[in-house]
Structure 1
Amino acid sequence: MARMKFICDAERCIECNGCVTACKAEHDVPWGVNRRRVVTLNDGVPGEKSISVACMHCSDAPCMSVCPVDCFYRTDEGVVLHDKDICIGCGYCSYACPFGAPQFPSNGTFGLRGKMDKCTFCAGGPEDNGSQAEYEKYGRNRLAEGKLPACAEMCSTKALLGGDGDVVADIFRTRVINRGKGSEVWGWGTAYGKPTQGAPSPTPPEGSKT
């Protein structure tokens, strides 16, 4: 059985927020909630890096540990979901999660507490797969349709990888190996390719001035 995981390649992320838009459009996410967001470190200075962050569907999820009503559960694919019919909106999970994944929907000027909302890895919820009730509470169940999360599929640079943990780990491992070693192991040029050093210059046309 596949274990679903996300990996974001910081060397490829260009902070376009395409993953954020794809998620909100695919699931009609409530206003004030971003199931996925792009975080940029050292913005505008050398060493700037961006990474797409959402629920990482932890193997030992802290949200599951602190929930007083046990509304969180893990599917056979390793996706961490929650049951909104059981959730009491206490917010413990939002404090426990290191990624800030569980969030309160915000309605009105000052916001309104209610059922928590979080990334579902496009796996829906406890209702019947593809049902209207499931869509209204959790959004589209793409995994049941044999598809990957919308955020990963819409990433223009393929920085965000989502799917079988072993497969995405192999993809990322191959990228790192191909980038080489030394100071350029995480360089932009090695991520997207660069001219081969020491390559012979093209021969100028006969009679041209050099």
Structure 2
Amino acid sequence: MARMKFLCDTERCIECNGCVTACKNEHEVPWGVQRRRVVTINDGVVGQEKSLSVACMHCSDAPCMAVCPTDCFYRTEEGVVLHDKDVCIGCGYCFYACPFGAPQFPQSGTFGLRGKMDKCTFCAGGPEEDGSEAEFEKYGKNRLAEGKLPLCAEMCSTKALLAGDAVEVSNIFRERVIRRGGKGVEAIGWSTAYGKGSADADTRAAAATAPVPEKTGGAQ
């Protein structure tokens, strides 16, 4: 079974916000909620700017699931982290636990009114019947049930935002790094996650830049 993941190639992201617009239009996201947003690091510093498209990363060890007192979060067979709005009590614990700021409160009411949290669903809907009106009203369109990938990635004009099976996504990014003549791993946050100079980091960096067999087809 595929394990779905996102990855943003900062060397290709041009901060056009096409992914943000595509997400809001496809799912009719509530006013004030950004399931996906583009952030720029070192904004205004010539030669050092890096733009990054950020949403729920559907973590393998999701902190939102760990802190939720009602266990409204759950993981699908594809590794997508979703939540049941009928169980959510709007306590906001997930909001504070998530390092990506993915779970959000709609801005139509006061924070303390215990609204229902909203977040990126990887275009996988929710616990309701696939393709039903109830599912769309609460969670947006279920593109995965239709055999499609998240629209944010499909609409990315520079193919900076990758989505799909983690193995395929990592293979595509690894080939790009090699073609650019890169050394080590260029993904934002790698050194933070694995530690600079650590044995694990060096091993993973070597594996990520190792030559891969030539193949035809696929996004490049």
TM range (shorter): 0.7 to 0.9
Residue in 2 aligned with 1:142?
143
1:122 partner SS: coil
Preserved contact between residue 120 and residue 138 of structure 1 (Cα < 8 Å): yes
Instruction: Tell me if 1:7 matches 2:16.
Output: no
2:20 partner SS: helix
Distance 2:181 2:169 in 1: 19
> May I ask how many residue pairs the two structures share in their alignment?
183
- Aligned-partner residue type, residue 36 of structure 1: R
1:135 partner SS: helix
Runs of 4+ in 1 over 2 A off after TM superposition: 110-113
- Following superposition, the deviation at residue 44 of structure 1 comes to 1.4
Preserved contact between residue 89 and residue 114 of structure 2 (Cα < 8 Å): no
Q: TM-score, normalised by structure 2?
A: 0.81
Preserved contact between residue 161 and residue 168 of structure 1 (Cα < 8 Å): yes
Instruction: Tell me if 1:91 matches 2:87.
Output: no
- Following superposition, the deviation at residue 181 of structure 1 comes to 4.0
Preserved contact between residue 73 and residue 81 of structure 1 (Cα < 8 Å): yes
Distance 2:63 2:126 in 1: 19
- Aligned-partner residue type, residue 3 of structure 1: R
Residue in 2 aligned with 1:133?
134
Unaligned runs of 5+ in 1: 187-210
Distance 2:114 2:20 in 1: 22
Distance 1:28 1:14 in 2: 24
Query: CA deviation digits over 1:148-182, x for unaligned, max 9?
Result: 00100000000000001100100000000000146
Residue in 2 aligned with 1:207?
none
Distance 2:108 2:76 in 1: 30
Residue in 1 aligned with 2:22?
22
1:39 partner SS: strand
- Aligned-partner residue type, residue 66 of structure 1: V
- Following superposition, the deviation at residue 113 of structure 1 comes to 4.7
Distance 1:180 1:158 in 2: 19
- Aligned-partner residue type, residue 31 of structure 2: W
Judged with a 3 Å threshold, the aligned counterparts in structure 2 of structure 1 residues 89 and 27 are, in CA distance, closer, same or farther, namely same
- Aligned-partner residue type, residue 17 of structure 2: N
- Aligned-partner residue type, residue 122 of structure 1: C
- Aligned-partner residue type, residue 117 of structure 1: D
Distance 1:124 1:28 in 2: 13
Distance 1:124 1:56 in 2: 16
Instruction: Tell me if 1:171 matches 2:172.
Output: yes
2:40 partner SS: strand
Q: TM-score, normalised by structure 1?
A: 0.84
Instruction: Tell me if 1:33 matches 2:33.
Output: yes
Distance 2:26 2:15 in 1: 19
Judged with a 3 Å threshold, the aligned counterparts in structure 2 of structure 1 residues 147 and 174 are, in CA distance, closer, same or farther, namely same
Residue in 1 aligned with 2:45?
45
Residue in 1 aligned with 2:55?
54
- Aligned-partner residue type, residue 11 of structure 1: E
- Aligned-partner residue type, residue 102 of structure 1: P
Distance 1:72 1:113 in 2: 17
- Aligned-partner residue type, residue 49 of structure 1: K
User: How large is the RMSD of aligned CA atoms in angstroms?
Assistant: 1.5
User: What is the identity percentage for the equivalent residue pairs of Structure 1 and Structure 2?
Assistant: 80
1:155 partner SS: coil
Residue in 2 aligned with 1:159?
160
Bigger radius of gyration among the two: 1
Distance 1:122 1:41 in 2: 27
Preserved contact between residue 105 and residue 113 of structure 1 (Cα < 8 Å): no
Unaligned runs of 5+ in 2: 188-220
- Following superposition, the deviation at residue 61 of structure 1 comes to 0.1
